[in-house]
Amino acid sequence: MTVMEQRGAYKPTPPPAWQPRTDPAPLLPDAEPYRVLGTEAAAKADPELLRTLYAQLVKGRRYNAQATALTKQGRLAVYPSTTGQEACEVAAALVLEEQDWLFPSYRDTLAVVARGVDPVEALTLLRGDWHTGYDPYEHRVAPLCTPLATQLPHAVGLAHAARLKGDDVVALAMVGDGGTSEGDFHEALNFAAVWQAPVVFLVQNNGFAISVPLAKQTAAPSLAHKAVGYGMPGRLVDGNDAAAVHEVLSDAVRHARAGGGPTLVEAITYRVDAHTNADDATRYRGDAEVETWREHDPIRLLERELTGRGLLDEAGIEAARQDAETMAAALREHMNQDPALDPMDLFTHVYAEPTPQLREQRDQLRAELEAEADTEGGTHR
Amino acid sequence: MSTVAVKPATMAQAFTRALRDAMAADPAVHVMGEDVGTLGGVFRVTDGLAEEFGEDRCTDTPLAEAGILGTAVGMAMYGLRPVVEMQFDAFAYPAFEQLISHVARTRNRTRGRMPLPITIRVPYGGGIGGVEHHSDSSEAYYMATPGLHVVTPATVADAYGLLRAAIASDDPVVVLEPKRLYWSKDSWNPEEPTPVEPIGRAVVRRPGRSATLITYGPSVPVCMEAAEAARAEGWDLEVVDLRSLVPFDDETVCASVRRTGRAVVVHESGSFGGPGGEIASRVTERCFHHLEAPVLRVAGFDVPYPPPMLERHHLPGVDRILDAVGRLQWEAES
Ligand SMILES: Cc1ncc(C[n+]2csc(CCOP(=O)(O)OP(=O)(O)O)c2C)c(N)n1
């Protein structure tokens, strides 16, 4: 028999164990980011919800401006602004029930505040008086996470633990477009899908990781497309359309709550401010680009919808502004007070019980402080 | 008292017993890692746990160390007490980001509001002919990270006691399991598990008068052997087994060195930047006037862990320890 004859006799079959695990089609995101405002879908949206979103967006914008101003006054060491991204921040907080958990990244102070955390406590990390100012259990908000994407597996673990205990808890975890390149992003999504954990991953694709544009971050058709590889649905949404983000996240939360497992949501948005006050955004992007996004501003989009449908008038706009001013004034006032710090706190929370080594170092610092106080008091002079 | 002879347990079996007892005592204790379920772990330390407690409490995870430890963080946030297994010492490295950035410091960054009672079991060290990446001694990395406790047993009884104490601790504990001793047996009676002692006490394994060998984990039996051999040379060596590297028991160690006036630190991991430097320095600071000679170190060479056919040249053995002990006759030499 010739080789050709052998080949002809060969009938290709898949390897014995192979079968598709999931039909990928329902997991794939739509071709276009989902939108509500300015479309027919807006008619179905609850006017009360739209008004709440509007008030929160205006407050959020003012909060971003106030916090940015506080960095200029030296009251905050740094502030990563979410101006332009308020719709994502606010919606992330509003879609959660009381018992649910929020896992923010370092940029998401606004979501933390929208969830109910005291604005001053939410800023402790950035102010520099402690790493986490708030009690994570009070509003079920994990500490603001600085290493990128590392909070994502925490969200999965917590949601998994809650489900094992039979509790109705959903975790929503936030990450930036740059963060999706980290290994922890991959591991978290994979664990969540394998465990069918009630988690929603919200990627705020704001165009840049500091200076690096999305094109240098990924070759995927969209970040939402990454979901299908893990076996979870991916959704694309206009991240500046507060109603759309709220709806998509609500769907995902409902899906998770019902036992459907995780969802990956990519919100297309834009960081209008620089990365932080320390960043010079003109080095990597032009004004024209920023301008197109200002046109597509989340507050403007919602305002247009509400006023167009007679759900908001000048007085309503003014009331929202006033409300935001009150919040900003309170924030200013609190942030202008110097925090009272106890240096002995350095040793208090390293372990449940300080080790003998820490006790020694604590005594050393105490002696140094006493000597300092004596010198200042003039006793040794 | 029963007259039926009790089959002595191996160290691996003592670890298993500790896990089983902890899981039975507290439903919050969850075991997770690669192959810990059906297989019972590559060293069989989790043998039977999935069967007894179900796959929700002894879970085969996806193959991802950062994911394992990262999800354990979230589970601990929700009130569970995860016990994670890192399959081999060098495979824990992908999890270091989670370990250092979160596990070790979450209590601190939340001002004590969010303690993380996670136990991280790491089979470590050489001497079993493992291929590359299966024999590292990584204790210096763990010791250098504030917020972690680091323990390592040398006896079967301590394997049980330290693992129980680790799981009971409200802080994260790295339990370094000397894989060379997994199959070792001693007089520990599995029918009467040792009571759980709090972490942080060293123990004098062998009293002596002429010098102290300060050691831990897999090097303890080697030091015991060296102490026996040294008798022929007229040396009466004391052997201190640290058991806990963090917190460090200065008291027991320094009491011993003050008695003997001479000390050698013995461990497998490299010497430069290794635990021995820290220990020697602590001892010198505290016992300077009692010392008859500098504190010496006998450690692994400062090389990546060698291939199996060369590891016997790398590991500190009896001869190298005796040689160091000889060098402790400082006065006579100088
Ligand atoms: C693990 C890690 N690497 C690097 C950094 C430094 N860093 C802080 S923010 C940032 C860019 C993040 O971009 P992205 O994830 O898109 O989030 P965004 O800032 O746009 O919200 C980098 C590189 C970090 N915080 N963590």
Give residue A188's pLDDT band: very low, low, confident or very high (50, 70, 90).
very high
| B236 contact A CB<8A | no
**B113 vs A contacts (CB less than 8 Å):** 132, 135-137
- Judged by CB atoms closer than 8 Å, whether chains meet at B74 and A191 is answered as no
B222 and B171 in a common domain: no
Mean pLDDT of chain B: 95
Per residue in B6-60, pLDDT tens?
788 999 999 999 999 999 999 999 999 999 999 999 999 999 999 999 999 999 9
pLDDT at B1: 44
Do the domain assignments include residue B197? no
How many Cα atoms sit within 13 Å of B168 on the Cβ side?
Answer: 16
Between CA B322 and CA A165 the distance in angstroms is: 56
- Does ligand 1 have an atom closer than 6 angstroms to the CB of A278? no
Asked if the structure places residue B221 within a domain, the reply is yes
Domain boundaries, chain A: 27-336, 344-379
> Is residue B4 scored above 80 in pLDDT?
no
Residues in chain A: 381
Cα separation values, B28 from A119, A139, A200, A263, Å: 34, 23, 25, 28
**Residue that terminates a domain, selected from B154, B187, B220:** B187
The verdict on residue B2 lying in a domain is no
Same domain, B167 and B32: yes
Residue B333 confidence (pLDDT) above 60: no
Q: What H or E segment, with its residue span, contains residue B199? A: none
- In this complex, the residue of B70, B112, B247 whose CB is nearest that of residue A348 is B112
Give which of B107, B147, B117 is closest to B246, Cα–Cα: B147
In a domain, B74, yes or no: yes
What would the pLDDT profile of A1-37 be if each residue is shown by its tens digit? 566 666 667 788 888 888 888 899 999 999 999 999 9
> With 60 as the cut, is the pLDDT of residue A135 above it?
yes
Q: Do B106 and A191 touch (CB under 8 A)?
A: no
Index of the ligand 1 atom closest to the CA of residue A217: 16
Whether residue A104 is predicted with pLDDT greater than 60 in this model: the reply is yes
| Tens digit of each residue's pLDDT (9 = 90 or more) over A337-365 | 988 899 999 999 999 999 999 999 999 99
B155 and B17 in a common domain: yes
* pLDDT band, residue B334 (cuts 50/70/90): very low
Q: Tell me, yes or no, whether B179 and B242 share the same domain.
A: no
Count Cα atoms within 13 angstroms, Cβ side, for A183.
12
Question: Which of B158, B187, B216 is at the close of a domain?
Answer: B187
Listed residues B160, B187, B214: the one ending a domain: B187
Report the residue from B62, B108, B250 with minimal CB separation from A350. B108
- Judge whether residue B2 has pLDDT over 50: no
Residue A306 token pair: 């509400």
ipTM given for this complex = 0.93
* DSSP 8-state symbol, B176: E
Residues B182 and B210 in one domain: no
pLDDT of residue A19: 86
Measured distance CA(A354)–CA(B146) in Å, rounded:
11
* Residues 96-155 of chain B whose Cβ lies under 8 A from any Cβ of chain A: 97-98, 101-102, 105-115, 146-147, 149
The structural domain count of chain B equals 2
Cα separation of A130 and A343, whole Å?
A: 11
Residue B168's contacts (CB-CB under 8 Å, 6 or more residues apart) are: B22, B196
Chain B residues with CB-CB distance to A357 below 8 A: 247-248, 250
Taking a C-beta distance cutoff of 8 angstroms, is the pair B182, B12 a contact? yes
* Structural fold of domain A27-336: Rossmann fold (3.40.50)
Select which of B30, B102, B134, B314 is catalytic: B134
Range with the lowest mean pLDDT among A16-25, A111-120, A157-166, A306-315?
A: A16-25
For residue A3, the model assigns a pLDDT of 62
Q: Tell me the CATH number at B35.
A: 3.40.50.970
List the domain range (segments joined by +) for residue B54: 8-187
Q: Which amino acid is at B100?
A: I
* Token pair listed for A321: 């502004």
State the Cα–Cα distance between residues A367 and A268, nearest whole angstrom: 55
- pLDDT over 80 (residue A381): no
Residue A87 has pLDDT above 80, yes or no: yes
The mean predicted confidence, pLDDT, of chain A is 95
pLDDT at site A354: 96
Chain A's closest residue to B101, CA to CA, is A147
Tracing tokens 């085969």 back to the chain, one arrives at B60
**Whether B172 and B225 share a structural domain:** no
Neighbours of A53 (CB within 10 A): 25
**Closest ligand 1 atom to A107 CA:** 21
Residue B81 sits at the chain A interface (C-beta within 8 Å): no
Ligand 1 pocket, mutate which of A82, A148, A203, A205 (most atoms under 8 A from CB): A148
Residue B3 within a domain: no
Distance in angstroms (rounded) separating the CA atoms of residues B334 and B325? 16
Rounded CA gap, B28 and B76, in Å?
Answer: 9
Query: Does residue B133 sit in the same domain as residue B244?
Result: no
Q: Which residue has the higher pLDDT, A53 or A17?
A: A53
Could you tell me how many helices (H) and strands (E) chain B has, helices first? 13, 12
Q: How many residues does chain B have?
A: 334
B200 to A365, B151, B166, B173, B216: CA distances (angstroms): 23, 8, 11, 11, 13
Q: Are residues B176 and B33 in the same domain?
A: yes
Q: Are residues B36 and B155 in the same domain?
A: yes
Q: Of A33-42, A367-376, B22-31, which gets the smallest average pLDDT?
A: A367-376
Is beta strand A101-103 parallel, antiparallel or unpaired with respect to A208-209?
A: unpaired
Q: Determine if the peptide bond prior to B193 is cis (ω within 30°).
A: no
**Given a cut of 70, is residue A217 above it in pLDDT?**
yes
Does residue B333 belong to any structural domain of this protein?
A: no
Kindly tell me the burial class for residue A118, based on how many C-beta atoms sit within 10 Å of its own C-beta (0-12, 13-18, 19 or more). middle
DSSP B75-143: HHHTT-EEEEE-SSGGGGGGGHHHIIIIITTHHHHTTTSS----EEEEEE--SS---TTSS---HHHHH
Res A233 pLDDT > 80:
yes
Q: Which residues contact B288 (CB under 8 A, 6 or more apart)?
A: none
B145: pLDDT strictly greater than 70: yes
With beta carbons less than 8 A apart as the criterion, state whether A93 and A102 touch: yes
User: Ligand 1: does its nearest atom lie under 6 Å from the Cβ of A207?
Assistant: no
pTM listed for this prediction: 0.94
CA-CA distance, B173 to B163, in Å (whole number)?
9
Average pLDDT over residues B151-165: 97
- The CA-to-CA distance between both ends of chain A, in Å, stands at 108
- Same domain membership, residue B163 and residue B22: yes
Residue B60 lies in a domain: yes
Same domain for B160 and B234, yes or no, is: no
In chain A, pLDDT over 90 holds for what percent of residues?
90
Across residues A60-80, what is the average pLDDT? Answer: 96
Q: Are A196 and A261 in contact (CB under 8 A)?
A: yes
Q: Residues with Cβ < 8 Å from A140, sequence gap 6 or more?
A: A98, A99, A100, A101, A102
Nearest to A157 among B70, B114, B115 (CB): B70
Residues B214, B260 within the same domain: yes
Give the HSE-up count for residue B288: Cα atoms under 13 Å, Cβ half-sphere: 4
Name the closest-CA residue to atom 18, ligand 1: A176
Is residue B68 classed exposed, middle or buried when 0-12, 13-18 and 19+ CB atoms within 10 A define those classes? Answer: buried
Chain A closest CA to B63's CA: distance in Å? 9
Contact partners, residue B267, CB within 8 Å, separation at least 6: B137, B139, B215, B216, B217, B219, B274, B275, B276, B298, B299, B300, B316
Strand ranges of the sheet holding B58-60, from the earlier edge strand across to the other edge: B58-60, B29-33, B81-85, B119-124, B173-178, B149-151, B244-246
| Between A3 and A236, the higher pLDDT residue | A236
pLDDT, residue A12, reads: 80
Q: Is residue B259 part of a domain?
A: yes
- Among A18-22, B264-268, B307-311, the range scoring the smallest mean pLDDT is A18-22
Residue ranges of B 16-45 with Cβ closer than 8 A to chain A: 30
Cα separation, B225 vs B219, whole angstroms: 10
Tokens of residue A11, six digits: 């009938």
Say yes or no: B13 contacts chain A, CB-CB below 8 A. no
The pLDDT of residue B280: 98
B98, B110, B147: residue with CB nearest A350? B147
Q: Is residue B5 very low, low, confident or very high in pLDDT (cuts 50, 70, 90)?
A: low
**Coil vs helix vs strand at A351:** coil
Instruction: Spell out the SS3 assignment of A3-42.
Output: HHHHHHHCCCCCCCCCCCCCCCHHHCCCCCCECCCCCCHH
Nearest to A199 by CA among A210, A185, A213: A185
Q: Tell me the sheet residues that pair with A236.
A: A266
